[in-house]
Amino acid sequence: MDQVDVDVLIIGAGPVGLYGAYYAGFRGMSVAVLDSLPEVGGQLAALYPEKNIYDVAGFPAVRGQDLVDALFEQAQQSKPTFLMEQRATTIEVHDDGVTVTAVASTPGDPGVTVHARAILIAGGMGTFEPKELPAGGDFAGRGLRYFVPRLADLAGHDVIVVGGGDSAVDWALALEPVANSVALVHRRDAFRAHEKSVSKLQESSVELITPYEVVAVDGADAVETVTLEHVESKETISRDVKTIVAAIGFLTDLGPMADWGMDLKRRRILVDRTQRTNLPRVFAAGDIAMYEGKVALISVGFGEAATAINHIAPLVNSRWKTTPGHSSDAL
C-alpha cells in the first residue's frame, strides 16, 4: 500500500474538511485529505450542487458548487495531499500519532496507509443513500429521482416533489422557475423545513398537496402518472407527471468508523468543547460531530474545524499554542 506521512489527516473532503485543510496549513501543518468519493465537496457537491445556501457568512446566497469551488481554491494554499476514492477502514492510536488504513474503491488500487500526528474526522453524515420511495418500484432513473444535480435537466417538466423537510421545500422552490409545473406532496399539513423557506413556499406558485402520500407510480417506459392518497380519508387522486423528486431523507452509516472505539450517539461522534473525541489525537467536526447544544450549520462546522485544528497544533509541535493570533499577522 502507498504510505503518506503528514501532521494532520482530515477524513472527509466536504466543506468542513476543505476548510480544515486550509486552516491546518495556515497553522503551519502538512495535511492530507481522504474521502471515499471521487471528487471534493462531499454531500453538498454530490447531492445539491445547484441549491443556494443562505447561512454562510459573507454570502447573501451562494450556489453549493460555487462554495465548494471557493473552499477548494482556499485549501490549495496549504498544498494538501488529496486521497480520493479511499475509504478509511482501520485506525491505530500511538503515543505520538495515529495510523489510518484506507481501502480504495478502484479495482487494482492497493489503498493507502496514512501516518499523522492527529486526525480530524469531517465526514458529514458518513456514507449515505436516499430512502426509497416505497411506491416507486423500479422507476428510479426513469422519471423518479432522489436529487437534482442540474436543475436545467427538468426544464419544462411537470414535477412532483415528495417530502416535507428542507430538501423537499428547497427543490420545489428551485424548480419553480424552471419546470412547467411543480407540486409538493407531503403526508402532513405542517412542514419541517426552515420557517423562511416555508413562507416562500406558501407565497410561490408551487401547488401544495397535503396531507397526501404517493401510493402508486405508473407508466410504460417511464413515469407518466402518480396516484396520491389522502392520509385520513383515503380518497385518491391521479396526476400526470414527467418527473418525481423524492426528498424523503437519507440512510446514513458511519461504516468502519463505528468500530473504532469512539463514543457515539445517534450515529454521531461525541466530542468535547475542543472537538476532541474519547480517542487520543482524534478530533471530529461538522455534521458527524455531536455535543450538547449542537447547531448543524455549515458555518458552525467551519468554526468547529478551526477549533479542532488549533487544539491539534500543540500535538504536532509542543512549542505551538492553541491561540492562533490574527491571520493578518502572517502577511
Report pLDDT for 206.
97
Task: Please tell me whether 283 is known to bind a ligand.
Answer: no
What is the overall mean pLDDT for the chain? 92
Q: What is the mean pLDDT of residues 198-205?
A: 95
Residues 102 and 27 in one domain: yes
> For the residues 168-180, what does the mean pLDDT come to?
93
Range of the domain at 241: 132-246
* Same domain as 217, residue 119: no
Q: 72 a known binding residue?
A: no
State which of 246, 275, 294 marks the end of a domain. Answer: 246
Determine the Cα–Cα distance for residues 292 and 39; give it in Å rounded to an integer.
32
Residue 167 has a pLDDT of 86
Q: Is 287 among the annotated ligand-binding positions?
A: yes
Q: What is the pLDDT of residue 212?
A: 97
Binding site annotation covers 43? yes
- The reply to whether 242 and 255 lie within a common domain is no
What is the pLDDT, as a whole number, of residue 147? Answer: 81
Predicted pLDDT of residue 22: 98
Tally of structural domains, the chain: 2
Compute the distance between CA of residue 62 and CA of residue 48 in angstroms, rounded to an integer.
Answer: 12
Q: Is position 88 annotated in a ligand binding site?
A: yes
Same domain, 232 and 276: no
Is 128 annotated as ligand-binding? yes
Same domain assignment for residues 113 and 255: yes
DSSP 249-318: -EEEE-GGGGGS---EETTEEE--TTSB-SSTTEEE-GGGEE-TT----HHHHHHHHHHHHHHHHHHH-T
Q: What is the mean pLDDT of residues 33-61?
A: 87
> Do β-strands 250-253 and 127-130 pair in parallel, antiparallel, or remain unpaired?
antiparallel
Instruction: Looking at the structure, tell me whether residues 205 and 99 fall in a common domain.
Output: no
What is the per-residue pLDDT for 45? Answer: 84
Residues 183 and 238 placed together within one structural domain of the fold: yes
pLDDT surpasses 80 at 105? no
Residue 10 sits in the same domain as residue 41:
yes
Whole-number Å distance between alpha carbons of 134 and 324 = 51
Q: Is 118 annotated to bind ligand?
A: no
Is the pLDDT confidence value at 108 over 80? no
Percent of the chain scoring above 90 in pLDDT: 75
The C-alpha atoms of residue 297 and residue 283 are separated, in whole angstroms, by 18
The CATH code of the domain that includes 141 is 3.50.50.60
The C-alpha cell at 17 is 474538511
* pLDDT of residue 78 exceeding 70: yes
Q: Specify the pLDDT at position 331.
A: 52
Prediction pTM value: 0.81
Whether the predicted pLDDT of 51 surpasses 90: no
